């Protein structure tokens, strides 16, 4: 059974809050001990509990004091190199989330443009290409060029892997295919693909 998601806010009930504190303090000490042992690092904990006159110190007061004194003796650059306050942490989290949002927007736009190209090829656009905006035409132009480049790169890769696979493949790889597009009478997209070969150019025309 999946755990219930916990709301990260102050627990209003006093008894529940104290019980949660004791439980989580014990778990935090255990995790810190495991980290110090497994990774062979120096670590200490100083935990001030609500209403406690003295803090909880792990592993001991002398060891924690020695570790903190060593940290304070370091140059300021070393002390603050990886230190982060709450404001910096929030800003870093926001920047990371914005990066994820921009990536998702780019991927969604690429998928929408690919679907748009499929509709244009199938002749399902109302009014054909004549009714498209400059932005939509630019998107179509970009995705067509991108896919043509991917095909040409793949042809070169195949030719480099198997240079004796045949004159046709070699000629196609050595001189990339030229693809031209035109607007049909019904607003559909048509293309002509030119494959230069040893005995002349082979031209394939088809409606998209």
This model's pTM is above 0.75: no
- Whether 208 and 154 have beta carbons less than 8 Å apart is answered as no
198 confidence band (pLDDT: 50, 70, 90): very low
The partner residues of 55 in beta bridges, in order of sequence, read none
Average pLDDT estimate for 189-195 = 48
**pLDDT tens for residues 16-72?**
999 999 999 999 999 999 999 999 999 999 999 888 888 999 999 999 999 999 989
- Has residue 192 got a pLDDT over 80? no
Domain 14-83: give its CATH superfamily.
Transcription factor, MADS-box (3.40.1810.10)
Helix (H) or strand (E) holding 188: none
What is the model's pLDDT at position 1?
54
More confident residue, 39 or 165: 39
Instruction: Tell me the pLDDT of the chain averaged across its residues.
Output: 79
Average pLDDT estimate for 170-180 = 50
What is the model's pLDDT at position 44?
95
Domain boundaries, given as residue ranges, for the chain:
14-83, 90-207
Rounded distance between C-alpha atoms, residue 60 and residue 36, angstroms = 14
Strands (E), the chain: 45-47, 56-58, 178-183, 189-197, 200-207
- Whether 157 and 165 have beta carbons less than 8 Å apart is answered as no
Average pLDDT estimate for 70-97 = 87
For the chain, percent of residues with pLDDT exceeding 70: 76
163 confidence band (pLDDT: 50, 70, 90): low
- Has residue 164 got a pLDDT over 90? no
Burial of 90 (0-12, 13-18, 19+ CB in 10 A): exposed
The two structure tokens encoding residue 154? 């793949």
Strands (E), 27-161: 45-47, 56-58
Average pLDDT estimate for 97-117 = 89
What is the model's pLDDT at position 204?
45
**pLDDT tens for residues 125-158?**
777 777 778 888 888 888 888 888 989 999 988 8
Rounded distance between C-alpha atoms, residue 208 and residue 123, angstroms = 8
171 confidence band (pLDDT: 50, 70, 90): low
């Amino acid at each position: 059974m999946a755990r219930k998601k916990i709301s990260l806010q102050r627990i209003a009930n006093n008894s529940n809050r104290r019980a949660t504190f004791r439980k989580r303090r014990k778990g935090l000490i255990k995790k810190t001990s495991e980290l110090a042992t497994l990774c062979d690092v120096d670590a200490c904990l100083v935990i001030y509990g609500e209403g406690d006159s003295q803090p909880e110190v792990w592993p001991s007061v002398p060891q924690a004091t020695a570790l903190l004194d060593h940290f304070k003796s370091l140059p300021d650059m070393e002390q603050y190199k990886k230190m982060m306050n709450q404001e910096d942490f929030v800003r870093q989290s926001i920047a990371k989330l914005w990066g994820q949002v921009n990536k998702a927007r780019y991927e969604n736009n690429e998928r929408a443009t690919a679907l748009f190209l499929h509709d244009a090829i199938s002749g399902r656009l109302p009014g054909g290409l004549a009714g498209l905006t400059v932005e939509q035409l630019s998107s179509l132009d970009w995705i067509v060029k991108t896919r043509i480049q991917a095909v040409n790169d793949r042809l070169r890769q195949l030719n480099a892997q198997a240079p004796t696979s045949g004159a046709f493949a070699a000629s196609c790889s050595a001189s990339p295919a030229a693809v031209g597009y035109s607007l049909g009478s019904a607003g559909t997209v048509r293309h002509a693909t030119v494959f230069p070969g040893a005995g002349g150019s082979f031209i394939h025309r088809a409606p998209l």
